[in-house]
Amino acid sequence: MTSSPPSTLPAGPAADACCAPSVRPSAALDAERVAAIAKALAEPLRVRILDVLRRSDEEVCQCELVALFDIRQSLLSHHVNKLVAAGLVDVERRHRWAYYSVPSGALKELTSWLT
């Protein structure tokens, strides 16, 4: 049995003759910031860490997060550093421990974009 070549669709109208877009890009959108936040949240463990921190009434010690997620301190540090770089988490060092919190307004761009 021989196969016939794939059929081609007829060419549609040129882009400038097609319908106009109903929505334009938002000048208020900081796409780079939203993309940086999305990249930082691309790892499920980081989402879980951020969720614990944002729901906590006080700073959370790294020792609590290590125990909570049953991970090595070095892995926690790696993931928290990504969240810090994206501006989603603050770190305060007290002696040998680090305490993490979510700065006020850190999720503002993301929540305003999603609503």
Question: What is the pLDDT at residue 3?
Answer: 65
What pLDDT is stored for residue 78 in this prediction? Answer: 97
70 phi-psi bin (left φ>0, alpha ψ -120 to 50, beta other): left
- Complete domains list, the chain, with CATH: 30-114 (1.10.10.10)
Is 31 a residue whose pLDDT tops 90? Answer: no
pLDDT in tens, 101-111: 999 888 887 88
Rounded to two decimals, the pTM is 0.77
What's residue 5's pLDDT?
64
Q: Is 66 within 8 Å of 79 (Cβ atoms)?
A: no
Beta bridge partners of 61: 99
| Residues in contact with 2: Cβ distance below 8 Å, sequence separation at least 6, in sequence order | none
pLDDT exceeds cutoff 90 at 15:
no
Concatenated DSSP letters of 79-91: HHHHHHHTTS-EE
Burial (CB < 10 A; 0-12, 13-18, 19+), residue 36, is middle
Confidence of residue 1 (pLDDT cuts 50, 70, 90): low
Question: Where does the pLDDT of residue 20 fall: very low under 50, low under 70, confident under 90, or very high at 90 and above?
Answer: confident
CA distance 61 to 94: 10
**What is each CA distance from 29 to 25, 36, 88, 102, 109, in whole angstroms?**
8, 13, 18, 22, 8
Tens of pLDDT, residues 42-101: 999 999 999 999 999 999 999 999 999 999 999 999 999 999 999 999 999 999 999 999
